[in-house]
Amino acid sequence: MKINNLKKRLKSLIWRKIKNKFYDFRIKETAIIQNINYSSLTNQKKAVVSYLTDSYTKDWEHNNIGRTQPIEILSITKTLADAGYCIDVVGCNDTKTLYYLENKNYDLIFGFGEVFFRLTEKQPQAMSILYMTEHHPEFADKAEKDRIAYYYKRHKKRARIVRSGNYYKPHHFKKPFSEVITMSELEPFKNNYQNPYPIFPTGVVNTNFVFNKKDHKTTRKNFLWLGSYGAIHKGLDILLDVFENRDDITLHIAGLSEEDEKLLNPKKRENIINHGYINIKSKTFLEVVQTCSFIILPSCSEGCSTSITTGMLHGLIPIVIRNTGFNRLNENAFFLDDHKVSYVDQKLTEISKKTPLELENYSKRVNEFAKNNFSTDSFENNFKKIIKNILKLTE
């Protein structure tokens, strides 16, 4: 016992000496935000959100937001606060937080990740709402493995799984939860849930964007791939194989990670333009938008990717693969039914020959659909409707 006390005192002494040197990290890496919307009422309901905590540690009003999740998390917690809950927010995979929550009893457990799963195991009496920001893991894992195998078949280079299985693991799905809300396809959940709830993510908006007519006769030959890490998962390798053997259409690449660039090694060609990282709120992004008619993402699995919602909010017409997370876009996207290089090559020829008038009307419709469905107001309103419906059903 004395040894343990000595260790604690020694750690405390060292921490007091060095903690200010790590101040930025202390703010950024906050593992738990507790007691949001606390009331002294003794019967106040308690909820925990297992997701990310940095929505509460950064100044989103004055700093560039390159991601959509932080604002969506604020909308989620606000909705639960409006419903009367006192809320804790925890890192979804930071299992050490469970030690600090072990004496709390929750009425509602919301989110995903290992923390979400373990809390539902420990507190089975609580209502549990699984929040899916990705496709069902059974689909996603197989789809990514298939893409990696297809890349190896063509290029004899090995790639690793980078997107699937990080937050949604097979053992999380061995039992049903009370409800499920998903950004992806509904079909995988219909066997276990009577009413899986769909919701769209938001998109990032450049406030200087104004929808204007384009010269689609020219821009219909230009396609934007807007991504992040996991370029094979997101189908960039397939596009490179198409565009490297053509010179009549141009591929614009934005957001390619250093690791993926080293792996894929895009050829230096006039019709393949790697812009590197582009700030969505920059003038450069608006220039790329004005150059292209389409945003293309032949991904194997998504939760309706925010790169697509962002592109649509700026009038870009999406080209995506059917059943991979985008089906609810309906007539507001061009759907591919296969990811093979020869098929994609053929379809891009067809799409790039659409008439300028047809593309102009398509772009208008896409932009209107995006404004009505991908704004932060739309997300919060839709999330409120879902939560009200769930709570009404359980009263």
Q: Are 305 and 359 within one domain?
A: yes
Same domain, 264 and 247: yes
Let me know whether 234 and 246 are in one domain. yes
Same domain? 309 vs 335:
yes
> How would you write the pLDDT of the chain (395 residues) with one tens digit per residue?
567 777 777 777 776 777 777 767 666 678 899 999 999 877 899 999 999 998 888 776 656 556 788 899 999 999 999 999 999 999 999 999 999 999 999 999 999 999 999 999 999 999 999 999 999 999 999 999 999 999 999 999 999 888 777 899 999 999 999 999 999 999 999 999 999 999 999 999 999 999 998 999 999 999 999 998 899 999 999 999 999 999 999 999 999 999 999 999 999 999 999 999 999 999 999 999 999 999 999 999 999 999 999 999 999 999 999 999 999 999 999 999 999 999 999 999 999 999 999 999 999 999 999 999 999 999 999 999 999 999 986 65
Residue 389 lies in a domain: yes
Instruction: Output the domain CATH number for residue 244.
Output: 3.40.50.2000
User: How many whole angstroms separate alpha carbon 319 and alpha carbon 143?
Assistant: 18
Overall domain count for the chain: 2
Same domain membership, residue 352 and residue 272: yes
Looking at the structure, tell me whether residues 385 and 360 fall in a common domain. Answer: no
Which residues, listed in sequence order, are joined to residue 182 by a DSSP beta bridge?
132, 198
CA dist., res. 168 & res. 190, Å (int) = 18
Would you say residue 325 lies in a domain? yes
In a domain, 98, yes or no: yes
- Per DSSP, which regions of 84-164 are E strands? 86-91, 108-111, 127-132
| Residue 380 and residue 366 in one domain | no
Is the domain of 224 the same as that of 368?
A: yes
User: Both 265 and 183 in a single domain?
Assistant: no
Burial class (CB in 10 A: 0-12, 13-18, 19+), 105: exposed
Same domain, 389 and 351: no
Residue 145 maps to a domain: no
Q: What is the CATH number of the domain that holds 58?
A: 3.40.50.2300
Q: Is residue 384 part of a domain?
A: yes
Say if 2 falls within a structural domain.
no
Give yes or no: residues 181 and 57 share one domain: yes
Residues 281 and 312 in one domain: yes
The residue segments making up the domain with residue 349 are 216-373
